[in-house]
Amino acid sequence: MGLLDGKKALIFGVANERSIAWGIAKALKKEGAEIAFTYAAENLESRVRPLAASCGSKIVLPCDATNDGEMDALFATLKREWGGLDILLHSIAFAKKEELKGEFLNTSRDGFRLAMDVSVYSLVALSQRACPLMEGRNGSIITITYLGSERVIPNYNVMGVGKAALEASVKYLAGGLGLKKIRVNAISAGPIKTLAAMGITGFKEILDSVEKKAPLRRNITLEDIGGSAVYLASDLSSGMTGAIIYVDSGFNIMGV
Ligand code: NAD
Ligand code: 0WE
């Protein structure tokens, strides 16, 4: 008996075995969910397929979150294969490398637009298409955010502004989708060494400061995030929508 027996989950954001989306997929699978995976670009297909196979997933489809046509095709396939959907995980973010260093003041118009499109609008675009498949099934939509939305984290820059917009989008989506009994929530994850954290100036210092200052005195793991995602995906969290929950060893509560 799993908490997610019979539920169908569509996962966006697996790039490799370190991805937060992969940690969550494993946790959902363990509780009995059936999983479908997407990959952002052709060069990731060979990474995602073996991971999907190890989850017993038959559905692995391409989806660049900036491409409306690709999204339409994906959801048409999913409707044919599954008929409905219970869980949508959005674990996608991108900003140009040059925007993640130096002064936020120097953010370019194009860098701002791209970060917002990939990291924020994608949640809206996916929710639009997931919604008809989730109706009448108590669906759960989950996204991943970061403390840089509300505090100034050096170099996080345009992504911080994007995460603030993502969190506001969670609330507006939740406000509208409640009528359809679809819940929308975010996990604000502590720093974790994934592909998206590679080559970030000062990332090691951020990890060190969590270990030193957070109440739990340790960094978080994919399993920590997976556990909270199971809660948000399952009927255990049936009364919760529009929430931003922290999985960060408690770091966010500290004043110094
Ligand atoms: P990751 O690199 O493993 O995942 C990011 C994913 O975004 C990749 O799978 C990538 O393919 C996907 N992506 C990028 N552009 C895309 C596009 N156009 N279309 C579709 N997919 C696209 O890194 P991660 O750390 O697992 O990041 C997942 C989420 O977690 C992101 O939203 C990130 O902001 C958030 N987050 C990460 C941390 C951290 O410290 N790693 C902390 C808090 C929140
Ligand atoms: O959300 C993120 C990372 C998002 C991200 C990472 C990259 C790196 C490679 C988005 N776009 C790109 N583009 C690239 O070219 N995190 C929460 C992890 C993260 O990223 C930081 C951090 C932390 C923490 C960037 C600067 C400072 C801190």
CATH code for the domain in which residue 129 is found: 3.40.50.720
193 ligand 2 Cβ < 6 A: no
Residue 251 lies in a domain: no
For atom 3 of ligand 2, the residue with the nearest CA is: 196
For residues 204 and 209, what is the distance between their CA atoms, to the nearest angstrom? 9
∠ at Cα 115 (203, 8), nearest 5°? 90
Beta pairing class for 60-62 and 244-247: unpaired
210 ligand 2 Cβ < 6 A: no
Residue 103 lies in a domain: yes
For residue 1, the CA-to-ligand 1 centroid distance in Å is 31
The ligand that comes nearest to the alpha carbon of residue 200 is 2
Per-residue pLDDT, 199: 86
For residues 134 and 85, what is the distance between their CA atoms, to the nearest angstrom? 5
156 ligand 2 Cβ < 6 A: yes
Residue 67 lies in a domain: yes
Per-residue pLDDT, 108: 98
Q: Which domain holds residue 55?
A: 8-243
Backbone φ, ψ for residue 188 (5° rounding): -95, 105
Residue 105 lies in a domain: yes
Per-residue pLDDT, 201: 87
For residues 238 and 37, what is the distance between their CA atoms, to the nearest angstrom? 25
The ligand that comes nearest to the alpha carbon of residue 42 is 1
Q: How far is CA 111 from CA 83, 86, 124, 169, in A?
A: 38, 34, 20, 20
Residue 76 lies in a domain: yes
For atom 2 of ligand 2, the residue with the nearest CA is: 196
What is the enclosing helix (H) or strand (E) of 48? Answer: helix 42-54
DSSP class of residue 184 equals: E
Please state whether 226 falls in left (phi above 0), alpha (psi between -120 and 50) or beta.
alpha
Residue 1 lies in a domain: no
What is the enclosing helix (H) or strand (E) of 142? Answer: strand 140-145
For atom 18 of ligand 2, the residue with the nearest CA is: 197
For residue 156, the CA-to-ligand 2 centroid distance in Å is 7
Atom of ligand 2 nearest to the CA of 97: 15
Residues of the chain below pLDDT 50 = none
Nearest CA to 85 out of 182, 212, 177, 169 is that of 182
pTM, full prediction: 0.99
For residue 205, the CA-to-ligand 2 centroid distance in Å is 14
Total domain count, the chain: 1
- Going by C-beta distance under 8 Å and a sequence separation of 6 or more, which residues neighbour residue 9? 25, 28, 33, 34, 35, 36, 85, 86, 87, 88, 89, 233
For residue 44, the CA-to-ligand 1 centroid distance in Å is 13
Q: What is the set of active-site residues?
A: 146, 156
For atom 24 of ligand 2, the residue with the nearest CA is: 191
Per-residue pLDDT, 32: 98
For residues 6 and 230, what is the distance between their CA atoms, to the nearest angstrom? 14
For residues 114 and 105, what is the distance between their CA atoms, to the nearest angstrom? 17
Residue 121 lies in a domain: yes
For residues 230 and 190, what is the distance between their CA atoms, to the nearest angstrom? 17
Residue 55 lies in a domain: yes
Q: Which residues pair with 142 in a beta bridge?
A: 89, 185
Q: Which residues pair with 140 in a beta bridge?
A: 87, 183
104 ligand 2 Cβ < 6 A: no
